[in-house]
Structure 1
Amino acid sequence: MADLQEEFSATAEAGALDQALVPPDPVPDPALVTAPGTDTVRCASPVDRARTLLAAHPVADGYSGLPWALRELPWHDFETGDSALEGDVPRLRAGRVGAQFWSVHVPDGPSGDRIVRTTLEQIDLVKHVVATHSDALRLARNASETADARNCGRIATLIGPARGAALGDSLGTLRALHSLGLCVVTLCGTSWAGEGGLTPFGEEVVREMNRLGVLADLSGASEVTARRVLAVSKAPVVFMRSGARALYDHPANLSDGLLAEVGAAKGLVLVPLAAGRTGPTVRTAADHLDHVRRIAGPECVGISGTHDTRETHPEGLTDPSCHPRLIAELVERGWSEAELAMLTWGNVQRALRGADFTARATRERRSASTATIDRLDG
Structure 2
Amino acid sequence: MPVSFVRRLVLSTALAALATAPALAATPEETAAAALRAAPMWDGHNDVPEQLRERRKNVLAGFDFRDTTGTADPASGAIAMHTDLTRLRQGKVGAQFWSVYVSARLTEQQAVQAVMEQIDVTKRLIAAYPADLQFATSSAEVQAAMKAGKIASLMGMEGGYAIGSSLGVLRQFHALGVRYMTLTHVRTIGWADSATDAPRHGGLSDFGKDVVREMQRIGMLVDLSHVSEDTMMDALDVARAPVIFSHSGARAVDDHPRNVPDAVLARMKANGGIVMVVTLPSYVSSRVREWDLARTAQRARLDALHIADPKRAAAELAAWVKANPTPRATLGELADHVDRVVKVAGIDHVGLGADFDGMDSTTEGLPDVSGYPALFVELARRGYSQADLQKISSGNMMRVLKAAEAYAAAHKGDPAIESPTAF
TM-score when normalising by structure 1? 0.84
State the alpha-carbon separation in 2 of the partners of residues 51 and 245 from structure 1.
29
Extract unaligned runs of 5+ from structure 2: 1-22, 57-61, 72-80, 194-198, 286-328
**1:370 maps to 2:418:** yes
Residue 82 of structure 2 aligns to a residue whose secondary structure is coil
Kindly provide the amino acid, as one letter, of the partner of residue 143 in structure 1: S
**Paired residue for 2:12?**
none
C-alpha contact 1:240 1:269 (8 A) present in aligned 2? yes
State the alpha-carbon separation in 2 of the partners of residues 89 and 276 from structure 1.
27
Q: Deviations over 1:175-231 (max 9, x none)?
A: 111111111111133211223122221121111111110011111212222112112
Extract unaligned runs of 5+ from structure 1: 1-40
**Paired residue for 1:191?**
190
**Paired residue for 1:232?**
238
Report which of the two structures shows the higher radius of gyration computed on alpha carbons.
2
C-alpha contact 2:32 2:386 (8 A) present in aligned 1? no
Kindly provide the amino acid, as one letter, of the partner of residue 29 in structure 2: V
C-alpha contact 1:241 1:252 (8 A) present in aligned 2? no
**Paired residue for 2:336?**
287
Kindly provide the amino acid, as one letter, of the partner of residue 192 in structure 1: W
State the alpha-carbon separation in 1 of the partners of residues 107 and 153 from structure 2.
27
**Paired residue for 1:33?**
none
**Paired residue for 1:106?**
102
C-alpha contact 2:103 2:111 (8 A) present in aligned 1? no
Q: Deviations over 1:131-165 (max 9, x none)?
A: 00111001111211111110111101111133100
Change in 2 beyond 3 A, CA 1:281/1:76: farther
> 1:209-224 maps to which residues of 2 (within 5 A)?
209-224=215-230
State the alpha-carbon separation in 2 of the partners of residues 230 and 346 from structure 1.
22
State the alpha-carbon separation in 1 of the partners of residues 395 and 401 from structure 2.
10
**Paired residue for 1:118?**
114
TM-superposed CA distance for 1:125, in Å, is: 0.3
Residue 247 of structure 2 aligns to a residue whose secondary structure is coil
Residue 160 of structure 1 aligns to a residue whose secondary structure is strand
**1:72 maps to 2:54:** yes
State the alpha-carbon separation in 1 of the partners of residues 214 and 255 from structure 2.
33
C-alpha contact 1:69 1:308 (8 A) present in aligned 2? yes
TM-superposed CA distance for 1:129, in Å, is: 0.2
State the alpha-carbon separation in 2 of the partners of residues 373 and 226 from structure 1.
27
C-alpha contact 2:241 2:271 (8 A) present in aligned 1? no
C-alpha contact 2:104 2:159 (8 A) present in aligned 1? no
- Which one of 1, 23, 42 corresponds to residue 60 of structure 1? 42
Residue 100 of structure 1 aligns to a residue whose secondary structure is strand
Aligned residues: 333
Change in 2 beyond 3 A, CA 1:342/1:373: farther
State the alpha-carbon separation in 1 of the partners of residues 261 and 67 from structure 2.
41
Q: Deviations over 1:243-263 (max 9, x none)?
A: 111111111111111111122
% identity of equivalent residues: 40
TM-superposed CA distance for 1:80, in Å, is: 3.9
C-alpha contact 1:269 1:292 (8 A) present in aligned 2? yes
TM-score when normalising by structure 2? 0.76
State the alpha-carbon separation in 2 of the partners of residues 275 and 76 from structure 1.
28
Residue 193 of structure 1 aligns to a residue whose secondary structure is coil
RMSD value, Cα = 1.7
> 1:126-275 maps to which residues of 2 (within 5 A)?
126-188=122-184, 189-194=188-193, 195=199, 196-275=202-281
Kindly provide the amino acid, as one letter, of the partner of residue 371 in structure 1: S
Kindly provide the amino acid, as one letter, of the partner of residue 233 in structure 2: R
